[in-house]
Chains A and B, each alone.
Chain A
Amino acid sequence: MIRSEILKEIAPIIRDHLVVCNIGLPSQELHMIDDQPTNFYMLGTMGLSSSIGFGVALAQDKPVISIDGDGSVLTNLGTLPTIANNATGNYTLLIIDNGSYGSTGDQPTYAGQKTSLTDVARACGCDNVIEVQDKDLGPVLQSAIDSDEMTIIVCKCDSGNIKLPVITLDPVVIRHRFMEAVAS
Chain B
Amino acid sequence: MDISKKIVDDFVANDVSFITTVPCKQLAGVIDEVEAREEIFHIPSNKEDEGMGLCAGAFMGGKRPAIIMQNTAIGVTINTLATLTQFYRMPLPMLISYRGELREPVACQVEMAVHTKALLNQLNIPTYHFHWQKDVEEFDNILKYTFMSNKPVAILTDANFWGGYGDQ
From the candidates A42, A51, A56, name the one contacting B61 in the complex (CB within 8 A). A56
- Given A48-B53, A76-B50, answer yes or no on A59-B83 (Cβ-Cβ < 8 Å): no
Provide the bound-state CA to CA distance between A123 and B95, in Å.
Answer: 32
By beta carbon, the residue of chain A nearest B82 is A44
- Given A44-B84, A45-B84, A48-B53, answer yes or no on A55-B89 (Cβ-Cβ < 8 Å): no
Among the stretches B41-49, B111-119, B160-168, the one at the interface with A is B41-49
In contact, A171 and B87 (Cβ under 8 angstroms): yes
Interface centre among B18, B56, B59 (most CB of A within 10 A): B56
Chain B residues lying within 8 Å of A79, measured Cβ to Cβ, are: 46, 50, 53
In contact, B57 and A59 (Cβ under 8 angstroms): yes
Interface size on B, residues (CB 8 A): 32
A:40-85 near B, CB below 8 Å: 40, 42-45, 47-48, 50-60, 76, 78-79, 81-82
Provide the bound-state CA to CA distance between A171 and B88, in Å.
Answer: 5
From the candidates B53, B61, B65, name the one contacting A45 in the complex (CB within 8 A). B53
- Given A44-B84, A82-B43, answer yes or no on A51-B79 (Cβ-Cβ < 8 Å): no
From the candidates A53, A55, A76, name the one contacting B65 in the complex (CB within 8 A). A55
Chain A residues lying within 8 Å of B89, measured Cβ to Cβ, are: 171-172, 175
Provide the bound-state CA to CA distance between A58 and B18, in Å.
Answer: 9
For the A-B complex, the count of residue pairs with Cβ-Cβ distances under 8 Å equals 113
By beta carbon, the residue of chain A nearest B43 is A86
Q: How close is A9's CB to chain B, nearest CB, in angstroms?
A: 26
Residues of B whose CB lies within 8 Å of any CB of A are: 18, 41, 43-47, 49-63, 65, 79-80, 82-84, 87-90
Q: A55-B57, A182-B61 are in contact. List 19 more A-B contacts (CB 8 A).
A: A40-B60, A43-B87, A45-B53, A48-B50, A48-B84, A52-B53, A52-B57, A55-B59, A56-B60, A59-B63, A76-B47, A76-B49, A76-B50, A78-B50, A81-B46, A82-B45, A172-B88, A174-B88, A175-B88
20 A-B contacts, Cβ less than 8 Å apart? A44-B84, A47-B49, A50-B53, A52-B53, A52-B56, A55-B53, A56-B60, A58-B41, A58-B54, A59-B57, A59-B59, A78-B47, A78-B50, A79-B46, A79-B50, A81-B46, A82-B44, A171-B89, A178-B60, A182-B61
